[in-house]
Amino acid sequence: MGMSESEIISKNIDITVRKMKFVMGTNKTKRYWHNDSPFVSTFWSALSTAFPEGERFFMDSGRFYKDDINDPILKEQLADFVRQEAHHTMQHKKLNSLMDDFGYDMEKYDGWFGGLLGKVRNKVSQRMQLSASMALEHFTANFAHQYLANEKFTEGVDAEIKALWSWHAIEEIEHKGVLFDIYNETKGGYIERVVTLPIAWALVLGITFVAQADMLAKDGKLLNVSDNLKGLWYLAGYDGMLTNMIPSFIRYFKPDFHPWDENDMELIEAWQAEYSDHIINLKAVA
């Protein structure tokens, strides 16, 4: 059987490990750094606490199959995927510690994600762990796509924090095929692939929303009705971030689905043109 067009794109993509520089934690950063909105700022901050544990889980579930991968290109892509994810965590910890300085208990939320993933590691097969990681890579790649493709989602965001999220976004797009290709190369099946999707998305969003509510409660903003409504519209309204992800959520159930069926490489190129000054290695590429 020949390779599909999406598999060819995936195989040819050069996963670039960029070392980044973000200046965060200056006293210029606003508490509500996303467009002065408590709801949206705490949403993104809560999601950011998922990364240290989440990305470690993704790396481990891919690395488990390292010796079963025959394709040398895919082996190399796995190594670069791991390098990218490790660097994401390192940079997101800066944002998390900034939120910690603002008085939010980021360690507590990190522990919620860690507790859940610890249970998954103990109780779920490696195959299903890989499947769950793929489901969440599909989640991050789609968030990334929305974040970059529609300017309204980044309106009024602190410049450095926007730089962090948009860098993370392009690398999530860049490596979105890696775990998926490993799964296919190691003969993963359809049912095990799709069954984790709704569960994984619901759990991550669920914990994020509880952490977000905890942050808003701490600030006495939980009942800030107008900001909450605006924030919910941002996420789940017409043309909202999560609303726009529904079609690709559904597409994942197609038997011949591949993450690169959606070719959004131009988002990476556009980012590269705008943010190359934040990259501290790869001067020649930039």
The residue ranges that bind Fe ion (CB under 5 A) are: 85, 88, 172
Cα separation of 37 and 103, whole Å?
A: 17
Nearer to Fe ion, 62 or 188 (CB): 62
* Residues 200 and 132: beta-carbon distance below 8 Å: yes
Sign of CA dihedral 255, 199, 84, 118: negative
Give the residue with the Cβ less far from Fe ion, 110 or 172. 172
CB of 87 to Fe ion, least distance (A): 8
Q: Report the distance separating Cα 53 and Cα 109, nearest Å.
A: 10
Exposure on the CB side of residue 65, measured as CA atoms within 13 A: 31
CB of 147 to Fe ion, least distance (A): 13
* Residue 49, helix vs strand vs coil: coil
Question: How far is the C-alpha of 183 from the C-alpha of 252, rounded, in Å?
Answer: 14
**Looking at beta carbons only, is 172 or 181 nearer to Fe ion?**
172
Smallest separation (angstroms) from Fe ion to the CB of 270: 19
Q: Which is nearer to Fe ion, 35 or 133 (CB)?
A: 133
Nearest approach, Cβ of 168 to Fe ion (angstroms)? Answer: 6
Q: 136-159 burial, b for 16+ CB within 10 Å, e for fewer?
A: bbbbbbbbbbbbbeeeebbeebbe
Smallest separation, CB 180 to Fe ion (Å): 11
Closest to Fe ion by CB, 47 or 157: 47
Of the pair 142, 212, the CB lying nearest Fe ion is at 142
Task: State how far the Cα of 183 lies from the Cα of 136, in Å rounded to an integer.
Answer: 14
Q: Minimum Å distance from CB 232 to Fe ion?
A: 26
Smallest distance, Fe ion to C-beta of residue 17, A:
12
**E strands, the chain, in order:** none
The helix/strand/coil state of 256 is: coil
Quick one: 21 exposed, middle or buried, by C-beta within 10 A (0-12, 13-18, 19+)? exposed
Name the residue nearer to Fe ion (CB basis): 174 or 227.
Answer: 174
CB of 96 to Fe ion, least distance (A): 14
The span from the CA of 230 to the CA of 219, in Å, is 18
141, 259 contact by CB (below 8 A): yes
User: CB-wise, 53 or 85, nearer to Fe ion?
Assistant: 85
Q: Which residue is nearest to Fe ion (CB)?
A: 88
